[in-house]
Structure formats: structure tokens, C-alpha cells
Structure 1
């Protein structure tokens, strides 16, 4: 952060400070940014933005693969699907995924028709039956490894659509409280230094505004004013922002 003195624009009596949460529009992870419109003695206030960032490790994974079979009749597509679903489940079990972590979503079927473009006469009908297999587990690393290996089944002829695992953090509510407290402390340190440059002192907190949380891939610069939650990586960065208004003594 550059010299602090330019941030304090005036020491005369001016309207109370300030709207600090604009940091979300300019860069939530730029922890050095501080918005200040004025500092003065008496009952005036100063509002600054504090932030805190930590690296967290996902503790739960939700992953799906879709198995599908097509045939001229609905019955045939269903019958051909069943052994492929079983082969997929057997593979997951062989890789160490427990049975209680594996579930099957309801079977779905679609019908497609091919017609003569000139006469509209029906030429063929194809039924596609599919079933989604879901893996939900706290064994994040194990499931991630299996997701890298399941492509072997495709090589063996199993008609799979492999979706990306979604990695999440289940203790986010607990972490949120801790992160906000750290962001508030960060705001106090900044406000104290700004006030010191102006020959003033920081008093009690008069208002605190919580910004949106950003959960991103490590070292990401992406952000959203509504908050973000990346599920593509096991390791994540979580950033919290607080706009805190202090009385200036």
C-alpha cells in the first residue's frame, strides 16, 4: 500500500464518512485498499474496509457419472443399460468406494425419430435410456483419484458421460464467523494507522457491514459482488470483507 497521508483528504468539519464496501467492485483480494473521505475530531467517524483470506481444504465431494444405452425399442434400451450400470458400480467398489457412498438416480428415457425430409415418412425410431450414478463421500482424495481412473471403462466400451466432481467445505458457517472477526481486526488496524497520520485516535465501532464471501481457486483474482463458490478444486481460498465504521476521537 502506498503512503497513507493522501488517503486523508481533510481535517476540517465535513459530513460523516463514507461508503467502504465499494471494495467489492474494485477487487476483494486487494487487501491494501482503504476508502476514506475525511477524518475530523469530535463525533465524526471513519470507515475502512478490512479483509481476511485463508486457504481451506474441501472435506466433501459429490460426483456423478451417466450411463446410457440406445436401441430401437424402449425395452431393449433398458435391458442393455442394466449390465453397463452394474459394471460401473462394480468398478467403483473395486476402487474402494463404499456401497453407502454410491446411489442411483431415477432412470430416464428419450425417444428420437428420423423422418424423410420430403414426405415426412417415419424412417426409424431410437430410444435412449440413461441412469445417473452419484458418489457422495467425505473421502475427497480417494474419489478424486477414482475420477481420474474411471475413463478406463470408456475404453472397455461402457457408454459413460463423466462429470466433474464438486468439492465443498461443510464447516463454512463456523469458518465464516472466524473470518469476519479477522476482517474486522484488519479494518481496525488500518483505521488506526490512518487516524494516526491525521493526529486522531480510533474509538468504538459504530457500524459494521458484511460483504459477500468469495471462495475461489487458490490465488484467483476472480470475484463477484454476489459472492462466489468454486467447486472445481480441493484446495480453495476463502476471503471475507468487512466495512467497519469507527468513531474518531
Structure 2
């Protein structure tokens, strides 16, 4: 009889202890889940302060040396023209000459195809990088003046950059963090609670697009170089404990 009482007592005690452990686990689980996760946005519009522009010119000749000589003449005309427009010699970079053999193709009376040498095609590119954005923009738009001099010149669209992007990024991170904090405080206030410690912060990638555009954001970040006016944005995800 005494053994039965002892066994029942031990079983009851074990049950009570088990409930205590279970209650503690549930309490800790609820405490761990008692968090708020919010995402804040920081953005800023700015104007590019650096521009790059390039154009290529071509000469074709059956004789390679003659083609080189003709290309050198065009290069001198282009260089003189750019200097006359206020471009400094150290702002111009001429690439190495690209040489391609060209062929014409014909078919004989039996339908067999033959290639006939049509000469050497030489191409060179001139590139400009400058902080005088407006001046280079005007230059790229009026490049027909070079074409009117008998030079086969192809102009590329200007590319725009910003040299103080790191400062913009720091400012956006601060704004995104503030925005996320304010959102978290509002959610906690509406729930009758208050924010505790910050548990985790995750920063997104910077996205740079043209203002008011429909450009898609990229997982690895977007960097628009075709627009002089830009808008940068970044997100910050914060996770807080709630008291």
C-alpha cells in the first residue's frame, strides 16, 4: 500500500514538473516570437557630375599602310576639332586601332560561293571623360560637324555618373533606418506595447534609376547611366523586440 502511494506521488510530481517545463518552453517561445519586423525606405534625387562620351571613326583601303595613313589624318582632324571645342588633350583617349579584313561574296555558274578580298577596315575610338557635363552634352549633340568634314564618325550616347555616391548612400541609410524605426514605433503603439532592443538589421542593395521612370529594380542593384538626373533608393529591414 505504501509502495502504491509512493509511486502515485512520484508520478504526480513528475507530471507537475513536466507541466512546469512545458509552460516555460511556451513562455520562452512566445517571448522569442514577440518581435516586430519593418522595412524603411531612404531615397534621394541628384544630378550627375561626371560624363563620359565616345565615338568611333573608320577607314577602308586595299592597302593596310594606306588605311593607317588615312585613319591618322582623320584622327588629327578629330583631335583638332575637339580641342577647338574646349576639350583638353588629356581628356581625350584614342583606343588601339581595330583591323578587320573585309570580303565580298559571289557565286559561280555552278552555285559555288567564293569570297573576294574587299580591303582592310580600320576602326578607332575616341573617348572623353569630364566633369563639364553640359559642355560634353553639347559636343555629343553637334558631332555632325565632324561628319560634314568627310569623316565616317559614329557617336555613342553619353553616360552619366556621380562621384559623391558614397555620401548619398550614407544619407539614404540614415533616412531608411529612421523611417523603419518610426514605422516600428507606430505599430507597437497601436498594439499597446513599446519597442525593445534592436535584434537584427538587414540592408538592401542600392537602386539608381531615372526619376519618375518605370525601370525595374534588380536583385543585385540597378545603376542607370543614361539619365543625367537620377534617383537613388535603398531599403533597411529592422527587427525589434516588443515589450
- TM-score tier by shorter-chain length is 0.7 to 0.9
SS in 1 for 2:177: helix
Q: Does the aligned pair in 2 maintain the 1:46–1:191 contact within 8 Å? A: yes
Aligned length: 214
Counterpart among 233, 236, 248 of residue 227 in structure 2? 233
Distance 2:197 2:214 in 1: 33
- Using the size of structure 1 for normalisation, the TM-score is 0.79
**1:121, CA displacement in angstroms?**
4.1
Greater Rg by CA: 2
Distance 1:84 1:132 in 2: 11
Within a 5 Å distance, the mapping from 1:43-58 to structure 2 comes to 44-58=34-48
Within a 5 Å distance, the mapping from 1:119-158 to structure 2 comes to 119-158=112-151
Q: Does the aligned pair in 1 maintain the 2:101–2:117 contact within 8 Å? A: no
Aligned partner of 1:185 in structure 2 is: 178
Q: Does the aligned pair in 2 maintain the 1:43–1:248 contact within 8 Å? A: no
Distance 1:42 1:82 in 2: 73
Aligned partner of 1:37 in structure 2 is: none
**1:15, CA displacement in angstroms?**
10
Distance 1:82 1:214 in 2: 43
Distance 2:118 2:131 in 1: 43
Relative to 1, partners in 2 of residues 1:202 and 1:221: Cα closer, same or farther, differing over 3 Å?
farther
Distance 2:95 2:164 in 1: 27
**Can you list the C-alpha shifts for 1:10-40, whole angstroms capped at 9, x where unaligned?**
xxx9999xxxxxxxxxxxxxxxxxxxxxxx8
**1:124, CA displacement in angstroms?**
3.5
Distance 2:85 2:162 in 1: 24
Unaligned stretches of 5+ residues in structure 1: 1-12, 17-39
Query: Is 1:72 paired with 2:62?
Result: yes
**1:134, CA displacement in angstroms?**
0.9
Which deviates the most, 84-93 or 184-193?
84-93
Within a 5 Å distance, the mapping from 1:29-48 to structure 2 comes to 44-48=34-38
Distance 2:105 2:214 in 1: 51
Aligned partner of 1:164 in structure 2 is: 157
Distance 1:121 1:171 in 2: 57
Relative to 1, partners in 2 of residues 1:148 and 1:241: Cα closer, same or farther, differing over 3 Å?
same
Q: Does the aligned pair in 2 maintain the 1:41–1:200 contact within 8 Å? A: no
Which deviates the most, 152-161 or 228-237?
152-161
Aligned partner of 2:236 in structure 1 is: 242
Query: Is 1:107 paired with 2:107?
Result: no
Larger helix proportion of the pair: 2
Q: Does the aligned pair in 2 maintain the 1:63–1:164 contact within 8 Å? A: yes
SS in 2 for 1:116: strand
CA RMSD of aligned residues (A): 2.2
Aligned partner of 1:23 in structure 2 is: none
Q: Does the aligned pair in 2 maintain the 1:71–1:128 contact within 8 Å? A: yes
Counterpart among 181, 187, 190 of residue 194 in structure 1? 187
- Using the size of structure 2 for normalisation, the TM-score is 0.81
